[in-house]
């Protein structure tokens, strides 16, 4: 691991109490990584091996749960990151949840009800493809509920996440920061490729028209909900290879900090022989 790469978590971390200005963070930058795409891919291979080993020990020790939250605008790369980075994890101990439009049953409960039910237990890893933050993002931008309803949710979300942290869940939140130009290019590629056209929706263009409103909504969520216990990381996402390396570096650094260990056997196996 290079000295530069070791600094990626610190460079992308949103300091609690700071005011995030996304315009000041270049989506095409590669903070903490001086190499090129080929070097990034090689580094990702190394990190995937480390993450795989970490998960085995994490599952065996079962002292914590790990929740990885991915947020991004359309074409930001959440699916790609799950495929390129987090398939390092054994699917038997990993759950990916995609939070879409709430069902009738979910709407009959508070907005965090469906989220709490999908958080990982000890030894397990949960990945949220979108999350409870949609209730201060799309809900805010599209005026689905009045401001007096969504505005208190920042404090409610902080309290919810603190509860999870206090109960042994380690939470890492990533905003994949994509430029407007790069989003347009990815949309064009989807339209031009018959195998990817299914991923494109006219609704994506409606969201794109509200770009500035979404940037403002993300800035407030990142500023108000990055805490000491549950931090946000802003990942420049114009370069897919860097996005993947950065995600893997942050999760791997967390794994090193947790340093899970294989537990000793509950039984005395010293005299056991197998014929």
Model confidence pLDDT, tens digit, residues 236-260: 999 999 999 999 999 999 999 999 9
Q: Give the rounded percent of residues in the chain with a pLDDT score beyond 90.
A: 87
* Residue 198 or 164, more confident: 164
- In this prediction the pTM is 0.94
Long-range Cβ pairs for the range 229-232 (8 Å, 24+):
229/161, 229/162, 229/165, 229/171, 230/158, 230/161, 230/162, 230/164, 230/165, 230/171, 230/173, 231/13, 231/14, 231/16, 231/172, 231/173, 232/13, 232/14, 232/173, 232/174, 232/175
pLDDT tens-digit readout, 45-64: 999 999 999 999 999 999 99
pLDDT-wise least confident of 104-108, 149-153, 266-270: 266-270
CATH of domain 3-258: 3.40.50.300
pLDDT in tens, 2-45: 446 669 999 999 999 999 999 999 999 999 999 999 999 999 99
pLDDT for position 26: 98
Summarize pLDDT for 76-123 with one digit per residue, the tens.
999 999 999 999 999 999 999 999 889 999 999 999 999 999 999 999
206 pLDDT above the threshold of 90: no
């Amino acid at each position: 691991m290079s000295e530069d790469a070791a600094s990626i978590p610190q460079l992308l971390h949103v300091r609690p109490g700071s005011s995030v200005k996304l315009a000041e963070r270049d989506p095409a930058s590669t903070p903490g990584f001086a190499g090129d795409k080929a070097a990034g891919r090689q580094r990702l291979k190394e990190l995937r091996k480390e993450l795989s080993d970490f998960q085995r020990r994490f599952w065996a020790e079962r002292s914590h749960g790990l929740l990885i939250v991915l947020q991004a605008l359309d074409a930001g790369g959440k699916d790609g990151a799950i495929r390129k980075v987090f398939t390092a994890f054994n699917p038997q101990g990993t759950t990916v949840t995609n939070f879409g439009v709430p069902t009738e049953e979910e709407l009959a409960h508070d907005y965090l009800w469906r989220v709490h039910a999908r958080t990982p237990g000890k030894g397990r890893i949960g990945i949220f493809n979108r999350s409870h933050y949609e209730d201060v993002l799309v809900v805010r931008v599209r005026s689905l509920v009045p401001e007096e309803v969504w505005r208190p949710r920042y404090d409610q979300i902080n309290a919810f996440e603190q509860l999870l942290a206090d109960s042994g869940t380690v939470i890492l939140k990533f905003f994949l920061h994509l430029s407007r130009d790069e989003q347009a290019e990815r949309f064009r590629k989807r339209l031009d490729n018959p195998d990817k056209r299914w991923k494109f929706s006219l609704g994506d263009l409606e969201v794109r028209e509200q770009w500035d409103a979404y940037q403002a909504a993300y800035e407030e969520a990142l500023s108000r909900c990055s805490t000491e216990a549950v931090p946000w990381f802003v990942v420049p996402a114009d370069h897919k290879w860097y996005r993947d390396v950065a995600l893997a570096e942050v999760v791997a650094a967390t794994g090193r900090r947790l340093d899970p260990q294989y537990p000793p056997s509950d039984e005395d196996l010293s005299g056991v022989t197998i014929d």
